[in-house]
Amino acid sequence: NFFQRQFTSPYVVNSALRHVLALYNGAIRMQLVDMRNLCSPIRARKLIRRRRDYSTQQIQQIARAIFFPVMDAPPEIDNLTGFAKRDMALARGQVLTANDQMQELCNYMGILFLTMARPSDLNKAEFDHFDLEKPA
């Protein structure tokens, strides 16, 4: 019971219990220990999933972050030469790549936000699944 009391979250308790159970089961299978699993009497904690209700202000903040993302300004390389231009071009490429990735993530999150779809549904979706002729 001391083992369980040192953790605050039931999720962490259950995860730690699974790891220790697996450790003992592996040791028993490999015949490193000659005893029963000491974690067998310990029961996993019951998890109560809470609904996440967001306030109107929180929804506005989420929407602002998704639909109006803050992008980094790429550095200018026009007036540079030599190694300085090369280094700044590499930095510019990193910034542009990061901006493209942020835009792609925001598009993905925007679809999730507007459709309330699950991420797994969106990941498995194909273009043929969407009927663009059908009115909303």
Q: What is the pLDDT of residues 72-105, one digit of tens each?
A: 999 998 898 999 999 999 999 999 999 999 999 9
pLDDT exceeds 90 at position 50: no
Q: Give the pLDDT of residue 73.
A: 94
Q: Do residues 113 and 63 make contact, with C-beta atoms less than 8 angstroms apart? A: yes
- Tell me how many domains the chain contains: 2
Q: Give the pLDDT of residue 1.
A: 63
Helix (H), strand (E) at residue 86: helix 82-115
Q: Which pLDDT tens digit goes with each residue over 9-43? A: 888 888 888 998 999 889 888 888 888 887 888 88
Verify that 42 and 73 share a domain, yes or no: no
Percent helix / strand / coil, the chain, rounded to 5: 60, 0, 40
Residue at 135 is within a domain: no
Residue at 134 is within a domain: no
Q: Which pLDDT tens digit goes with each residue over 96-125? A: 999 999 999 999 999 888 888 888 888 888
Phi, psi at 8, each rounded to 5°: -95, -35
76 Cβ neighbours under 8 A, 6+ residues apart: 88
Evaluated on CA atoms 121, 123, 124, 128, the torsion sign reads positive
Verify that 60 and 116 share a domain, yes or no: yes
Q: Do residues 69 and 103 make contact, with C-beta atoms less than 8 angstroms apart? A: yes
pTM value is 0.55
Verify that 67 and 124 share a domain, yes or no: yes
Q: What is the mean pLDDT of residues 43-66?
A: 86
Verify that 125 and 66 share a domain, yes or no: yes
Q: Do residues 24 and 16 make contact, with C-beta atoms less than 8 angstroms apart? A: no
Q: Alpha-carbon distance 84 to 88, whole Å?
A: 6
In this prediction, residue 3 has a pLDDT band, given cuts at 50, 70 and 90, of low
User: Which amino acid is present at 94?
Assistant: Q
Range(s) of the domain holding residue 91: 56-129
Q: Alpha-carbon distance 32 to 91, whole Å?
A: 53
